[in-house]
Amino acid sequence: MTSGKPLRVAIQGERGAFSHQAAIGALGPEIEVLPRATFDELFDSVVDGLAERALVPIENSLHGSIHENYDRLKNRPLHIVGETQLRIRQCLIGRPGSSLGMIRRVASHPVALAQCRRFFAERPQVEAVSAYDTAGAVQDLMKGGLATQAAIASRLAAELYGGVVLLEGIEDDAENYTRFLLLAREAVKSEEPASKTSIVFVLDNRPGALYQALGVFAARKVDLCKLESRPLRGHPWEYSFYLDVLGDPCATAGEAIEELGRSCRELRILGSYPEGLSRNGV
Amino acid sequence: MTSGKPLRVAIQGERGAFSHQAAIGALGPEIEVLPRATFDELFDSVVDGLAERALVPIENSLHGSIHENYDRLKNRPLHIVGETQLRIRQCLIGRPGSSLGMIRRVASHPVALAQCRRFFAERPQVEAVSAYDTAGAVQDLMKGGLATQAAIASRLAAELYGGVVLLEGIEDDAENYTRFLLLAREAVKSEEPASKTSIVFVLDNRPGALYQALGVFAARKVDLCKLESRPLRGHPWEYSFYLDVLGDPCATAGEAIEELGRSCRELRILGSYPEGLSRNGV
């Protein structure tokens, strides 16, 4: 940042959510985080200029794509200016002075609880309690209003709300990563060169159309890393395709996208950005 | 049916759910319907032999694929023996003797409520109330226990529970179809010839792999109608692909699938069946 004002970054969820942790990882600790209750509010905060960036979860390595966020990408005039990934490490968080043996009821979001089945299976005396948010469960725990002795959330949530990490990494599957996209109102030139371009396109509804579309990349040895399809409203069993294209958007990868654009019904570039974890687009 | 016993068909949801309507449309009114609360129970009812068939919603033309049911298809030893589609026509259902002007509170499943935004926007005096199931909301309405005067559900739900259809087709978007798969424990030869084959495969993680996979079909002019990807557990950012292949599985389409099977890491045929609405597999 060149100016003194911190970058305002909207996230979905409470402070201490995994999105908050990912935002700090990608953009540094000096950002101003704007918690939003829903994904629609998250996108709108950048459209409306309340935040300079939104960090949007788009895919989890266990649960798959967050498809509704692909739809929101298509329906809003925003640009992808970066991406980051976060390993999801679930922590058992108690109140200060508590210990593992005291815990009988543990609150968290149902998805987090479902990721920690082994923890509960090994402790039949411990009950799982659903909450609306992982970090929110830690906040409620600290207020003491609930009849629970612990919550499952990120280490950051423990730090922010004054909880104690009783166990770390209690998720069943260590290969649990969430990929996030960083969105802005305008395309932003990052310090690192862009190496990935996300596009959305609609093909003519004829045999072999997708094969031919992928062929413009194969012919140039341009690598693709994610293909997603979503229904086309008003056209049952027809689809929009979302594709992540690797390579320099000003060289071969960009040429391939241009060629695809000439042969399909519609194509929009959602953004070009450096692949992977980065501090770009700030 | 050759025997006198009705075919037992499991559905997710209550009697009168859209799945029930689709089951009657595909298999006729003489089936025995087994309502199941969850998708896991739906699949397990056929695995365990409690039902001869399960009718599984796999895709909606507005909301997209029901991705978790793709995962369940992969993880269970079942066969797709047919498919059917149903136009979702939402009905406003009241108690006998009620009229449209009396309605102030309307209960339904949140997805059904979201599909009828125009109905509520045009009637600011009418409140939408969330319920766990469309047909269940009609059942509750008839019991009179709730402070609602109407429910949104299928016409079948009105008929089964003695409700009155006050308005039909109140969904915002008429192009609202759900596609269902009919599952059985064993592959079943249908009366109509099979014209569609569903497969799931894992490709080697190298550039151009998907393009080459689609090429075995393009080279034979075999048409594809649905491609879906799902995360491969334990391999972040790698995917299983689900593909629906059109054509005779004993001719060119089958040859293409065989060739693909030789070149990829794993491939399973989920089933061959007649495309579209059918009374097959009984």
In chain B, positions 168-197, which contact chain A (CB-CB < 8 Å)?
173, 175, 177, 179
How many of the other CB atoms lie within 10 Å of CB of A54? Answer: 32
- Catalytic site positions of B: 178, 180
How far apart are alpha carbons A7 and A2 in whole angstroms?
10
Can you give the pTM of this predicted structure?
Answer: 0.90
∠B28-B29-B34 over CA atoms, to 5°?
A: 100
pLDDT for residue A236 is more than 50: yes
Contact B226 A237 (CB under 8 A): yes
pLDDT at residue B244, as a whole number: 96
**Spans of chain B, pLDDT less than 50:** 1, 277-282
pLDDT at A281: 31
The two tokens of residue B23 are: 């089951």
pLDDT of residue A189: 79
Q: Which of A18, A43, A119, A180 is catalytic?
A: A180
- Sign (positive or negative) of CA dihedral B257, B258, B264, B267: positive
Option in A226, A229, A233 nearest B228 (CB):
A229
Chain B touched by A164 (CB under 8 Å): no
Predicted confidence band of residue A82 (pLDDT cuts 50, 70, 90): very high
What value does the mean pLDDT take over residues A168-192? 92
Residue B3 pLDDT: 59
Give the whole-angstrom CA distance, residue B139 versus residue B111. 18
Token code pair at residue B229: 């990807």
Output the average pLDDT for chain A. Answer: 92
pLDDT value of position A3? 59
What DSSP designation does A52 have?
S
Looking at CA atoms only, how far is residue A97 from chain B in angstroms?
Answer: 36
Q: Taking each helix axis from N to C terminus, what angle separates A209-218 and A252-263, rounded to the nearest 10 degrees?
A: 160
CATH number of A196-273: 3.30.70.260
Question: So where are chain A's domains?
Answer: 8-88+176-184, 91-168, 196-273
CATH class entry, domain B91-168 = alpha beta
A271 touches A79 (CB < 8 A): yes
- pLDDT attached to residue B188: 84
Segment A255-270 mean pLDDT: 96
Residue A78 has pLDDT above 60, yes or no: yes
Catalytic residue among A178, A197, A217, A241, which?
A178
Please check whether the two domains, A91-168 and A196-273, share a CATH topology: no
Å from A105 to nearest chain B CA?
25
Give yes or no for residue A85 having a pLDDT over 60: yes
Reported as a single tens digit per residue, the pLDDT across A17-56 is: 999 999 999 999 999 999 999 999 999 999 999 999 999 9
CATH class of A8-88+176-184: alpha beta
d(C-alpha B116, C-alpha B171), whole Å = 5
Q: What is the pLDDT of residue B233?
A: 86
pLDDT of residue A2: 52
Nearest CA to B64 among A144, A241, A110?
Answer: A241
Strand stretches in chain A, DSSP E: 8-12, 32-36, 53-60, 64-65, 79-87, 91-94, 105-108, 127-130, 150-153, 164-168, 177-184, 196-202, 224-231, 239-246, 266-273
Assign domain B8-87+176-184 one CATH number from 3.40.47.10, 3.30.470.20, 3.40.190.80, 3.40.190.10.
Answer: 3.40.190.10
Average pLDDT value for residue range A246-251 = 94
